[in-house]
Amino acid sequence: MPDSGSDEVNEAKQELFAAKIADGTPGLYLALKNGCHQATESYIDGVFSASLGIALNE
């Protein structure tokens, strides 16, 4: 199993956070459009609390 800081794990997390449905439409857009405020709030909280291992100050 890859460690949580590996490129493979980070790519998987980024794919999940993209939140796209099969045709590429962003799921977050659909949730907002349909008034699913709790879903969008949870998504945003998850993004901010995630440790993706991305160096922002390179």
For 9, residues 6+ apart whose C-beta sits below 8 A from its C-beta are: 2, 3, 53
Contact between 15 and 8 under an 8 Å Cβ cutoff? The reply is no
More confident residue, 3 or 30: 30
**Cα–Cα separations (whole angstroms), residue 10 to 3, 25, 28, 46:** 10, 21, 20, 14
pLDDT tens digit sequence for 15-48:
777 778 889 888 888 888 999 989 888 888 887 7
Q: Where are the domains of the chain?
A: 7-49
pTM (2 d.p.):
0.48
